[in-house]
Amino acid sequence: MITLAAVAAGAVAGVGIGQGAAQAAPACQPYGEIGSTWHGAGGNKSYLGHCVDDEHAVPGGRAQGFAGGAVYWSDKSGAHSVKGLIREHYYNMGASGSFLGFPLNDEWGTAKHTGSFNHFQGGSIYWSHATGAHEVHGAIRDRWKSMGWETGALGYPTSDEYKVSEGKRSDFQGGSIIWNAKTGATRVIGNAAAAVAPAAHTTSAPSSAGQKALAVAATKLGAPYVWGANGPSTFDCSGLTSWAFRQIGINIPRTAAQQATVGSHVAKGDLKAGDLVFFYSPVSHVGIYDGKGNVLNAPTAGQGVKYTPIQYLEYNTARRI
């Protein structure tokens, strides 16, 4: 296994971590979107600390190493940091040159604060003290997500996805998910199987207008944030929501404050996938609820369209279109 020590010694192409944090910071300076992410985190005083190399090219984009992590950027994902054991696992898998691609969020804590995760263009890496860091992707990730991520009966992943005679498999604390290569279906085995119906999992088509808009908006994951933009390739927060509803034949107002006046009010405890959720007072941000505690949103400059846990934003109200 490649370790960060090997990366620091130059054994791996990509973002090194320098020759050791004990040495003086080199004469490098973060700039552009990577610099914006670094400054937004707190610069030298943040978990990232000082830079240890110059910004440089990696497969598909740019990256820069810091004493406490690395920031990766691409035009589709924006600039996001990876750190710790998630970062090390990301390196071992090939970083941006792997199927994971670029990170879509900075590392976040999980819902019950028992671990942390990064979502990537091609999957996710979840970490906890009990399980370590492991990737989940594809249909297996979709099934795990439908069961509540790490808060569901399966808990955290305990393995990466690996081949079995039936197709692919990932193991979790509460069981395993197996993907059938012939049928495309997934099934759950182990203790967690009692929490789901025994039939193979199928995904029904979106039923409500909000769910349809959510599905449309999800096709723009990673699209760059541009203030005042409303698609089809760049968005601000209300530009994304108005564009998504427009694609299904529903026109809603352009700004977040205006959107907060249409449809019907929904209590926070009654949120369903597809509801518009508004943040801050006065309302200045909006996203589409995914049914799992997150909103799909266009957050701010330097960050692409992504899922953000509601708990990290200042909730105001919600509306159902």
pLDDT averaged over 10-residue windows placed end to end, the chain, 321 residues: 43 40 61 94 94 96 97 95 97 96 93 91 96 96 89 94 96 95 91 61 58 92 92 95 94 96 93 95 95 91 87 92 93
Residue 96 CA to residue 93 CA, distance in Å, equals 9
Last residue of a domain, one of 160, 188, 203: 203
Do residues 34 and 124 both lie within one domain? yes
Q: Quote the number of domains for the chain.
A: 3
Task: Based on the fold, state whether residues 66 and 152 are members of the same structural domain.
Answer: no
- 27 and 103 housed in the same domain: yes
230 is catalytic: no
57's CB contacts (< 8 A; 6+ apart) are none
Catalytic residue (choose from 105, 237, 294, 316): 237
The 3-state DSSP class for residue 205 equals: coil
- Phi, psi dihedrals of residue 10, rounded to the nearest 5°: 90, 15
Residue 160's domain comprises 137-203
Q: Which ranges in the chain belong to alpha helices (H)?
A: 4-8, 32-41, 84-92, 138-146, 209-218, 237-247, 256-259
Q: Which residue has the tokens 């809603």?
A: 252
* Residue 307 · residue 119 · CB < 8 Å: yes
Q: How many whole angstroms separate alpha carbon 317 and alpha carbon 321?
A: 13
- Do 97 and 29 reside in the same domain of the chain? yes
28 is catalytic: no
Q: Exactly one of 92, 105, 294, 297 is catalytic; which is it?
A: 297
Of 149, 148, 140, 146, nearest in space to 178 by CA: 140
Q: 67 in helix, strand or coil?
A: coil
Domain stops at, among 203, 227, 255: 203
Catalytic one of 80, 285, 294, 316: 285
Active site residue 297: yes
The alpha carbon of residue 171 and the mean position of all alpha carbons in its chain are separated, in whole angstroms, by: 21
Q: Distance between alpha carbon 209 and the CA centroid of its chain, in Å?
A: 24
Question: pTM above 0.85?
Answer: no
Question: At 260, is the secondary structure helix, strand, or coil?
Answer: coil
pLDDT of residue 249: 93
